[in-house]
Structure 1
Amino acid sequence: MTILLSIKPKYVKEILNGSKKYEFRKSIFKKYDKNELVFIYSSYPVKRIVGTFSVGDIIENCPKILWNEFKNVSGIKESEFFKYFKEKDKGYAIQINKLNEFKNPVNPKDINPDFRAPQSFCYISQNFEEEILFKI
């Protein structure tokens, strides 16, 4: 299933400029395959689907080990990283492969007027995916 991942605009910028090679999460999607297509939703105030990437490796470990391993390609400050994982024993690092930035970001409300941004991520239907790709 295709995934729509909600990411704060400042981290989307780091992904798009190539300095953020991993997206960090406290929980992970259950349904995915390696090379799964992920749509990047840049959250408030942008509120647009700005690109895609394919899932590389997903590494599960304690935050300290994740930071030590990926800090140079994290696109995030150490203080923000540990604040995000506060009181968590484990976290996930999703490798970002085959990044594709849209020239024309898509407003998901143009596809579905009832669209509600996911807190973290959601699965999207094939029809929704096709509509996004049609609009870019």
Structure 2
Amino acid sequence: MPIKPQFASKIVKGEKLFEYRKRIFNEDTSCIIIYSSSPEKKIVGVAKINKILEGAPTNIWEKTKKHSGITRKFFREYFLGVKKASAIELTEIYPLKVPLSPFQIQEGFTIPQSFCYVDLSFLEKVICSGNCVFPSLNSKSVVLIGGIHGVGKTTICKEISDQENIVHLVASELIKGKLNCVAGTSASSEKKVRNIKDNQELLISALDEITLPGGRFILDGHFVLFNKNAEIQKVPLTTFEKIEPDKLVVITGEPKILQKRLHKRDGKVYPVEKLKEMQEQEVEYASIVAERLGIPLKLIGFDDKVAIADFINNKSA
């Protein structure tokens, strides 16, 4: 996709996360190869496509202006007289360490005016020749979202899933599904976990079956749990190593509010001090897991869904 050098530069720096077009793809496209047009005339990066927004120019601008990388004046001039605008939302942007001419990849290549489709081998040559740290084309993306009971993880994850084209998985539901399948047991709402280690093995087994290569997933789970003796116990580190998440999020909340939510939802009264202790351990252990796996961790309040979605989509540190 040819893009003017000043805008291509902003994209590879992560300053521009939307590319605007009057004409858009008519095929299912997962990523774009960024070609910085004249005078640079080089391929400078590869970016995955999160989604494509379409609608009236005014509506598209309001939805995308925060990460547009252009002025409103430029946007209005570009779409002057056009009734429908398209905005390609880019995520996971990977610059080429060695910018390339397309002719280095394919002799006689024709530079498109707007865009063109290329096959997988072309993309692989760009990644290899440009020394681009692009993940395997068969890899999957998993963001683990933790938080203690009552913090609202499931509701928040479902909303993000609906808006961001990401599959939402609930760890407890995957475990219950496996238990029902293997042992014929019935699901329980009990917060105390009888055998944390065995349950985590069931979780990993379920994830292996569901998380297909190339997919994007958010896993709604925990870093610590109540065991059968109502003691706070850490989920084994090996569980997180097997999940192989890209990043971690811990959603936090005010213990007194969480107590009221849990009482209303489950009819049980959890001591505020116990919930406070559990949340502190959740945060502390998540930090240890993030450090051990070498991945980013974000602590976000339960009322800030935008910050969570931005972190998942690489729009914030």
Q: TM-score, normalised by structure 1?
A: 0.89
2:80 alignment counterpart:
86
Secondary structure at 2:94 match in 1 = strand
1:24 alignment counterpart:
20
Secondary structure at 2:81 match in 1 = coil
Q: Answer yes or no: is the 8 Å Cα contact 1:39–1:52 preserved in 2.
A: yes
Instruction: Indicate the structure with greater strand content.
Output: 1
**Residue-by-residue CA offset, 1:61-113 (whole Å, 9 max, x unaligned):** 11111112211210011111111111100011111111001110111111223
C-alpha RMSD of the superposition: 1.3
Amino acid of the structure 1 residue aligned with 2:20: F
Amino acid of the structure 1 residue aligned with 2:79: F
Match of 1:9 among 5, 15, 18: 5
Q: Which has the larger radius of gyration?
A: 2
Amino acid of the structure 2 residue aligned with 1:107: S
Unaligned runs of 5+ in 2: 131-317
**Residue-by-residue CA offset, 1:7-32 (whole Å, 9 max, x unaligned):** 11111112122221111111110112
Match of 2:128 among 120, 123, 134: 134
Q: TM-score, normalised by structure 2?
A: 0.40
CA deviation after TM superposition for structure 1 residue 127, in Å: 2.8
Match of 1:48 among 38, 42, 63: 42
Match of 2:68 among 74, 77, 84: 74
Identity %: 36
Q: Answer yes or no: is the 8 Å Cα contact 1:11–1:75 preserved in 2.
A: yes
1:110 alignment counterpart:
104
Q: How many residues align?
A: 130
Which deviates further from its counterpart, 104-113 or 39-48? 104-113
1:121 alignment counterpart:
115
1:64 alignment counterpart:
58
Larger relative CO (CA 8 A, sep 6+): 1 or 2?
1
Amino acid of the structure 2 residue aligned with 1:32: D
Rounded to whole Å, the distance in 2 between the matches of 1:130 and 1:69 is: 33
**Residue-by-residue CA offset, 1:19-55 (whole Å, 9 max, x unaligned):** 211111111101124xx12111111111111111111
